[in-house]
Amino acid sequence: MATAVEQPQVPQELRTSAPESLPKSAIPAAVASPVPAPAATETVSLRAEETPAPAQETKAPVVAEAHLVDTYHPPQRMFANLEEYKRLYKESITQPEKFWAERARELISWDRDFQTTRSGSLLNADVSYFNEGRLNASYNCVDRHAFKDPDRVAIIYEADEPTEGRNVTYGELLREVSRTAWVLKQMGVRKGDTVAIYLPMIPEAIIALMACVRIGAVHSVIFAGFSSDSLRDRVVDAGCKVVITTDEGKRGGKLIGTKKIVDDALKQCPAVENVLVYKRTGSEIPWTSGRDFWWHEEVEKWPNYFPPEPVASEDPLFLLYTSGSTGKPKGVLHTTAGYLLGAAMTGKYVFDIHEGDRYFCGGDVGWITGHTYVVYAPLMLGVSTVVFEGTPAYPNFSRYWDIIERHNVTQFYVAPTALRLLKRAGDEHVRGKFAHLRVLGSVGEPIAAEIWKWYFEVIGKEECHIVDTYWQTESGSHVLTPLAGITPTKPGSCSLPFFGVEPALIDPVSGEEIHGNDVEGVLTFKQSWPSMARTVWGAHNRYRETYLDVYKGYYFTGDGAARDHEGFYWIRGRVDDVVNVSGHRLSTAEIEAALLEHHSVADAAVVGIADELTGQAVNAFVDLKEGVESSDALRKELIVQVRKSIGPFAAPKAVYVVPDMPKTRSGKIMRRVLRKIVAGEEDQLGDITTLSDPSVVEKIIKAVHDAKRK
């Protein structure tokens, strides 16, 4: 590691006696065996409850994995800052009005100050923040930085082809956002109208978002890879007047016919009046005169500045549809001020973002990760954000690492799915010193200890702090997460709650809160927080029923979680991804983690299937590493692996070797598809348009049928 490496800089309000910059030892390397934590770590738990005294007979810990991994500690002097975090956290829970008011005035520029910091409740589903305040999101993300330093780079565009990228400064971004806002205004878009954005990962995606919010319109970004049917459903549900797209997209060396997909979708979208088309490839495309307009031609007609239109704090900022894996697509609605504060605060505290940083989130703007951590968080904080159009494997497996090295990236945030792929490709592809890299992030699913260790040692050079973040589309920003340079971390744990977030584990049988440590249950939150979604578009009752009525007075995440002996949180997986075998409630995530410990397994998924004897039986699906051959002996090894890791009751009844997993474009395994296939219900798979590769379903069906015939 080059000696110029920077370490996480502690935010001023979390700084006590710590120096302005930290030496390399700030984030020490892992050690072969657990090191006893300094005395300060014994107070990490944020709850005032103690674990009940053990009985005479030794009881196995509920959160066993917490005892199987090392804890990575900041240096001794940094524990004072952990104590300061806990002080501020307590203030955010006990005095939320004071806490949020101070942060909102610090991080947001207001056109008119707010009077009421917080009102409403989870029980009544009427939460609101910063009432009477007025602001503009585009001004906060663009203007205030452009006025201060117009030549500062806002967007580092990494095109699909490595030689085709470009930078966009804050001054240029302000000009392009303004001209695009004029175009939308001329097309009849007004405050409160919805605009569909179906764009690949190019700078114009951010420009389109900012142009919408500049005039008070609501953007609804649809991942540029969804089918025409999925696009149609989302455009119709949101009532969009305008669709913004490209002639074609490029990803992984392949062309995507975005305009053709839009044309097919709009055959059943009568409310759409105009389509604005950005010329990405220059290919000939179908054209509907009077409806379709070229982006580059329209923006040339308008001035370089459009005055931002102030909106109320609780006015809608954007809609984002969940994957739609079951039923009607669900348009989650986020409001302006609270969401902006959540993005800015988590960027500042979780990723340690400072002026001059170059931040790289590998997410797509079609998902919440791209919204919050490609667009809003870095732009709210006035730093450079990498917009990456391609894939981590094109033109080779070094692509991410080349980007980090060439652009002196300071923070990198990506899903474990990509990390597994890149680890499997081999360390010879990891080229570069990464001299400026300080923070590594993980998002989307719990990161396995093996991948965490590789990420820390090979990518982070044992110098970077890893932040394993837990959050949702509905939460808007991180809710359980380490703070870079401050929080001790355990591989596989999302650590501690973010400010203002009060977790509660609920007994799914009694519905009562489970207190103390070394416990597990359904993860809920007892208080609202500013960035949480306010409703489902056009279906507030659905919002209440899904999130707030399951356990009255609590926000229901849909996930199971455990709180270990030190108060750290571990995500167990969706509560509907629980297998009940002979009275044992088994987390599929836990069984999958056991399978992934085997050196032959690249990916794993577990489902429960009805069984006459045990109620349910565990069925496992594994994707093997390259070069590993499937065999009966290997299947037996995997069953033994689970027996050893968890217990005989968790052993899979069947193990199916498949060529790949049915994953959504956000990297989540669609387990209901696997469940249906094993149950012989291939004709009842439901909507699979959200799969990144729907063709894999037929391959899995064949693999299961072949295995059952043996």
Q: Rounded to an integer, what distance in angstroms lies between the CA atom of residue 300 and that of residue 363? A: 31
Closest by Cα among 281, 292, 355, 298 to 176:
298
Question: Can you list the alpha helix ranges (DSSP code H) found in 376-430?
Answer: 377-380, 399-406, 416-425
List of residues 6+ apart from 288 with CB closer than 8 A: 263, 275
In this predicted structure, the answer to whether residue 79 has a pLDDT above a threshold of 80 is no
Burial of 708 (0-12, 13-18, 19+ CB in 10 A): exposed
Tell me the pLDDT tens digit for each residue of 326-341: 346 789 999 999 999 9
Tell me the pLDDT tens digit for each residue of 296-314: 999 999 999 999 999 999 9
Q: Rounded to an integer, what distance in angstroms lies between the CA atom of residue 289 and that of residue 43? A: 67
Q: For the packed helices 96-107 and 336-349, what is the interaxial angle rounded to 10 degrees?
A: 80
Tell me the pLDDT tens digit for each residue of 140-161: 999 999 999 999 999 999 999 9
Per-residue pLDDT, 72:
81
Task: For tokens 């909507």, name the residue.
Answer: 687
Closest by Cα among 529, 536, 414, 543 to 475:
529
Please, which pLDDT band fits residue 52 given cuts at 50, 70 and 90?
very low
List of residues 6+ apart from 304 with CB closer than 8 A: 175, 178, 179
In this predicted structure, the answer to whether residue 27 has a pLDDT above a threshold of 50 is no
Q: Give the pLDDT mean for 27-56.
A: 36
Compute how many other C-beta atoms are within 10 angstroms of the C-beta atom of residue 665: 17
In this predicted structure, the answer to whether residue 692 has a pLDDT above a threshold of 70 is yes
Per-residue pLDDT, 435:
95
Alpha-carbon torsion (472, 476, 480, 484), positive or negative: positive
In this predicted structure, the answer to whether residue 22 has a pLDDT above a threshold of 60 is no
Tell me the pLDDT tens digit for each residue of 382-405: 999 999 999 999 999 999 999 999
Give me the domains of the chain, ranges plus CATH numbers.
Answer: 95-109+137-345+359-391 (3.40.50.12780), 576-709 (3.30.300.30)
List of residues 6+ apart from 600 with CB closer than 8 A: 624, 625, 628, 634, 637
In this predicted structure, the answer to whether residue 92 has a pLDDT above a threshold of 70 is yes
**What are the E-state strand segments in 336-383?**
358-361
In DSSP terms, 319 is beta-bridged to 220, 333
Tell me the pLDDT tens digit for each residue of 60-70: 888 888 888 88
Token pair belonging to 98: 């004071």
Tell me the pLDDT tens digit for each residue of 454-476: 999 999 999 999 999 999 999 99
Token pair belonging to 222: 């649809």
Please, which pLDDT band fits residue 585 given cuts at 50, 70 and 90?
low
Closest by Cα among 494, 448, 455, 152 to 350:
494
Phi, psi (rounded to 5 degrees) for 615:
90, -60
List of residues 6+ apart from 56 with CB closer than 8 A: none
Token pair belonging to 147: 């006025």
Question: Among 10-24, 423-437, 491-505, 521-535, where is mean pLDDT lowest?
Answer: 10-24
Per-residue pLDDT, 15:
46
Task: Characterize the bridge pairing of strands 513-514 and 503-506.
Answer: antiparallel
Tell me the pLDDT tens digit for each residue of 653-665: 999 999 999 998 7
Q: Is the peptide bond before 8 cis (omega within 30 degrees of 0)?
A: no
The answer to whether the beta carbons of residues 354 and 9 sit under 8 Å apart is yes
Q: Give the pLDDT mean for 596-601.
A: 93
